[in-house]
Amino acid sequence: MNSAMPANLGLTGNAIKVLEKRYLKRDREGKVQETPLDLFKRVARTIARADLNFDRPLGEVQALEDRFFDMISTTGFLPNSPTLMNAGRRLGQLSACFVLPVGDSMDSIFDAVKNAAMIHKSGGGTGFSFSRLRPTGDVVGSTKGISSGPISFMTVFDVATETIKQGGTRRGANMGLLRVDHPDIIDFIRAKDVNNRLNNFNISVGITEAFMRAVEAGEEYDILNPHGGNVVRRESARKVFDLIVSHAWQNGEPGIVFLDRINAGNPTPAVGEIESTNPCGEQPLLPYESCNLGSINLALMVKDGAVDWDKLKAVTRDAVHFLDNVIEINRYPLKEIEETTKSNRKIGLGVMGWADMLIQLGIPYSSESAFSLAGDVMNVIQAEGKNASEELANMRGDFPNHELSIFAGERRMRNATITTIAPTGTLSIIAGCSSGVEPLFAVSFVRNVLEGTKLVEVNPYFERIAKERGFWSRELIEKISETGSVAHMDEVPDDVKAVFVTAHDISPLDHIKMQAAFQKFTDNAVSKTVNFPNHATKADVEEVYRLAYTLGCKGVTVYRDGSREDQVLSTGSSSQTADKELAQPETTASGKIMPKKRPDVMRGETRLLKTGCGNLYVTINADENGNPFEIFTQMGKAGGCAASQAEAIGRLVSMAFRSNVDPAEIVKQLKGISCHSPAWGEGGRILSCSDAIASAIEGFLNGRRAAPVTKTDTHSQLPPHNDGEHQVMRQGACPECGGAVEHEGGCAVCRSCGFTKCA
């Protein structure tokens, strides 16, 4: 191993920052104890030494360690985050994905809660199917009581996850799945209508072939009680499908998972039925099964303007060997998980840097050439991966359930599955490449760094081409950073625009076509977000769902731009400003806006909000049309910095009001900003003085209702911001650094600091 290699290994500054914050080993005082070089050495050494279990000579193991080190230190391949964090360390839990069973009894339910807590503590995410739980109102035979149904028990899992994740390096995340033929399916689809409910869950509806046939035919389908399997009623398939579409359009959830299609590809059907997936949907698993994931960096698989197929095959072989070794040395959180995982030995080898590969090859993302190449690339990885697994089986033996698998009598296999395409949020930041099989997040964007400093970052391929072709300028880059896209930049040549497309430059149908192209040669599933513009209709979402089903996808995740921002503010806030004609502010001779003049007398309301700095009194005065005109703040008995900051915010907000800035936009900017000292008010948590001012404005806009939400509100039992993290995530801003958040495969990742809302 090259010990002279520099400690930063050519990593970007942002990659080093993310590694230091989330991955590198620390002492008890929190001081970083290793460099990125040390981390890669630690991981390579630990994983390679699993070969000693198979009596491989030490010299060969050391050579394997060198190959593993070269592969991960150059970021040609990176394993999932728990492996980077924990390999060679005391915890030793290396898996990212788990599925736990939830049976129809109190013992089974709370065993699952306990087991999930152990997994989250170790850095993993969990998937559950709640489809076996009897429906709401069903009689419980043992006690003659009445069942409260799956959704009520999901809240128990949610609260447990919230408790366990506090202070962890990785946040616990869950997938909650319910079959479309469960009696509580309507309530499940609507489960996230209320803000801050099931925030630690992604939820998906398990779609059956029978349901889809009924949708196509406009017929009803059977609703089954899982406790006995009897038909309890019939539902209009079209009505349920429309409800799923409507809610996905509204806030991105629920997603859909084609359960029957997943089980058609189940490699061990005689062992059991697949009922759920991991939190981001790409890894279907049996109960008590885990999977170890890793991704090949396709950005590094290009040479002289063409795909370097030989390098891709070599990395694939080593990656399969690496992931099988992970299974061997992993310290599993539960005995049942270790037994089931080692019986099937599933691995999930995927890709990242796909958009970067296309850019280097000059191929537009939304082209037939790109769809064709996607199939070619994944076909090679799939085929070479299976060959590598077969070689390992010849040396180490087949996976124990091989004789119960689809491979029995055909070929030897060490692993029941080989390929999965997972989200690569923080991994792609470390590798300095695009995420998974997604298009570019942005050609240029603003990254927040320490002490409020903002840096404008630009895609390195775009920077090189712009300089080579003479259209580079700092003014252009700053202009691009406002939207992230070059689609409407006159300074950028058309052929460059065609290649440097971002998620919102691509039609939703092309997103699905790309997902389907990769799915064709993927054992498990493909994690991909279908991005919609804000003005997209429900019919657009339905069209994507139908195309995904037609093209053979195993699930769909959609995100309509701004849809979760709309959740934060009630519909009343926007309608109040839209329905009233605003007086226009004056302008100077040069066209600059002059704030409207203040009348001598104004009327308004004062709200008391409890903050970590003391009581904050916020007075909002309105103009003759009832629109907010100015704001005053008073910090009770407190003074100093807190009072001056609140006064400064009040003055700036007042100027914005008087310049006809939409108050809802002001709320979005202030809401969710957190400080070191949050406080609980009567109806919820106040994260800072800025957050308190936003709540006061929101309350004023929402019909002069006290803010935070009081007990008179219909959702008073679920306060609107009991968790600052979730409040900010819905606004598209990172709760840790305030940077832009990228939606990917049912997750959300900040490319500034590496924060992710899911494990």
Q: What is the pLDDT of residues 554-565, one digit of tens each?
A: 999 999 987 764
Any domain includes 748: no
Does position 38 have pLDDT exceeding 70, yes or no?
Answer: yes
C-alpha–C-alpha distance, residues 104 and 235, integer Å: 24
> What pLDDT score does 577 carry?
34
Same domain, 130 and 5: no
Q: What is the CATH number of the domain that holds 184?
A: 3.20.70.20
Q: Residue 7 pLDDT more than 80?
A: no
Closest to 250 in 3D by CA, of 307, 190, 180, 337: 190
- Which of the residue ranges 12-26, 65-79, 504-518, 537-551 would you say has the lowest mean pLDDT? 12-26
Alpha helices in 293-407 (DSSP H): 309-329, 335-344, 354-361, 368-396
> Max alpha carbon distance in the chain (Å)?
90
Which tokens is 17 given?
């920052």
Known active-site residue 282: yes
Q: Which residue would you say has higher pLDDT here, 453 or 600?
A: 600
**Same structural domain, 134 and 267:** yes
Split at pLDDT 50, 70, 90, the class of 726 is very low
The CA angle 424-429-434, to the nearest 5 degrees, is: 65
Would you state the torsion angle of the CA atoms of residues 590, 596, 597, 601, taken in this order, to the nearest 10 degrees?
Answer: 180
pLDDT exceeds cutoff 90 at 512? yes
pLDDT digits (tens, 9 = 90+) for 220-237: 999 999 988 999 999 999
Q: Is the pLDDT of residue 445 over 60?
A: yes
Range of the domain at 33: 1-74
Residue 357 has which token pair? Answer: 């590969």
Average predicted confidence (pLDDT) for the chain: 86
SS3 call for 708? coil
Return the higher-pLDDT residue of 608 and 467: 467
- Asked if 753 is an active-site residue, the reply is no
Asked if 718 contacts 394 with a C-beta cutoff of 8 angstroms, the reply is no
Percentage of the chain lying above the pLDDT 70 cut: 85
Q: Is the pLDDT of residue 699 over 90?
A: no
Residue 645 included in any domain: yes
> Are residue 106 and residue 228 in the same domain, yes or no?
yes
Model confidence pLDDT, tens digit, residues 237-262:
999 999 999 999 998 999 999 999 99
> Residues 520-555, buried b or exposed e (16+ Cβ, 10 A)?
ebbbbbbbbbbbbeeebeeebbbbbbbbbbeeebbb
Per-residue pLDDT band at 455 (split at 50, 70, 90): confident
Q: Residue type for 391, please? A: E
Within this chain, do residues 70 and 178 fall inside the same structural domain, yes or no? no
H helices of 122-173, in order, are 150-165
- DSSP, collapsed to helix, strand or coil, labels residue 529 as strand
Regarding whether 202 and 142 lie in a shared domain, the answer is yes
Residue 487 lies in a domain: no
Spell out the long-range contacts of 219-227 with Cβ–Cβ below 8 A and sequence spacing 24 or more.
221/180, 221/181, 222/181, 223/181, 223/182, 223/183, 223/185, 224/181, 224/182, 224/183, 225/134, 225/135, 225/138, 225/183, 226/104, 226/131, 226/132, 226/133, 226/134, 226/135, 226/182, 227/104, 227/134, 227/138
Would you call 280 a catalytic residue per the annotation? yes
- Between 671 and 149, the more confident residue is 149
| 113 and 64 in a common domain | no
Q: Quick check: is 209 in a domain? A: yes
Please tell me whether residues 621 and 681 are part of one structural domain: yes
Tokens of 293: 């994931």
Element containing residue 653 per DSSP (H, E): helix 640-658
| Residues making up the chain, counted from first to last | 759
Q: What is the CA radius of gyration of the chain?
A: 27
**Looking at 300-314, 445-459, 649-663, which range is the least confident one?**
445-459
Using the predicted structure, report yes or no on whether residue 551 has a pLDDT greater than 90.
yes
- What confidence tier does 585 reach under pLDDT thresholds 50, 70, 90? low
Query: Is 705 part of any domain?
Result: yes
- Is residue 567 predicted with pLDDT exceeding 60? no
Instruction: Categorize the per-residue pLDDT at 446 as very low, low, confident or very high, splitting at 50, 70 and 90.
Output: confident
- What lies within 8 Å, CB to CB, of 248 at 6+ separation is 254, 255, 256, 541, 558
User: What is the per-residue pLDDT across 171-229, written as a single tens digit (0 to 9) for each?
Assistant: 668 999 999 999 999 999 999 987 668 989 999 999 999 999 999 999 999 999 998 89
User: Would you place residue 574 in the very low, low, confident or very high pLDDT band (cuts 50, 70, 90)?
Assistant: very low
Q: What's residue 668's pLDDT?
A: 80
Answer yes or no: is pLDDT of 736 > 70. Answer: no
For residue 510, what pLDDT is reported?
98
pLDDT at 731: 41
Catalytic one of 282, 289, 457, 742? 282
Residue 165: inside a domain: yes
Which H/E stretch holds residue 691? helix 689-701
530 touches 512 (CB < 8 A): yes
**Do 171 and 27 sit in the same domain of this protein?**
no
pLDDT of residue 708: 39
Residue 345: inside a domain: no
Q: What is the mean pLDDT of residues 409-437?
A: 96
* Residue of 278, 325, 344, 448 marked active site: 278
Lowest mean pLDDT among 101-110, 171-180, 436-445, 597-606: 597-606
pLDDT of residue 134: 94
Position 713 confidence tier, pLDDT thresholds 50, 70, 90:
very low
pLDDT for position 759: 56
| pLDDT per position as a tens digit, 320-375 | 999 999 999 999 999 999 999 999 999 999 999 999 999 999 999 999 999 999 99
Does position 578 have pLDDT exceeding 90, yes or no? no
Residue 324 lies in a domain: no
107 and 55 co-located in one domain? no
pLDDT in the model for residue 473: 95
Q: Are residues 651 and 699 in the same domain?
A: yes
Q: In this model, does residue 396 exceed pLDDT 50? A: yes
Structure tokens at 132: 């076996």
251 plus 125 within the same structural domain: yes
Catalytic residue among 162, 174, 251, 280: 280
- pLDDT average, residue stretch 651-670: 86
For the chain, how many structural domains are there in total?
3
Burial class of residue 107 in the structure, from the number of CB atoms within 10 Å of its CB (0-12 exposed, 13-18 middle, 19+ buried): exposed
Q: What are residue 586's phi and psi, to 5 degrees?
A: -75, 160
Question: Are residues 263 and 119 part of one domain?
Answer: yes
Q: Give the number of other CB atoms < 10 A from CB of residue 515.
A: 31
Cis-peptide, bond into residue 254, ω within 30° of zero: yes
